[in-house]
Amino acid sequence: MGEADEHCKYLWLPNIIGRNKKAILGFLKEKAHTQIRSWDGKYIARSGKEILVKSVVQALPVYAMNVFLLPIKINRDIEKRLSRFWWNAKQSNGVQINWMPWERLEKHKSAGGMGFRNFKDFNLAMLGKQVWRFLTNPESLVSRLYKARYYVDGDFLNSPLGHNPTFIWRSIVEAKKILRDRVRWRIGTGQDIQITGQPWLLDK
pLDDT, one tens digit per residue, over 48-74 is: 999 999 999 999 889 889 988 998 899
Boundary residue ending a domain (72, 100, 117): 117
Q: Which band of pLDDT confidence, cut at 50, 70 and 90, is reported for residue 203?
A: low
Supply the range of the domain harboring residue 132: 122-180
Residues 134 and 171 in one domain: yes
Residues 86 and 22 in one domain: yes
Residues 110 and 31 in one domain: yes
Residues contacting 129, CB < 8 A, separation 6+:
66
Q: Which of 113, 97, 116, 110 lies closest to 53, judged by CA?
A: 116
Number of domains the chain contains: 2
Position 170 in a domain: yes
131 in Cβ contact with 140 (< 8 Å): no
pTM of this prediction?
Answer: 0.81
Residues 85 and 35 in one domain: yes
| pLDDT of 91 | 46
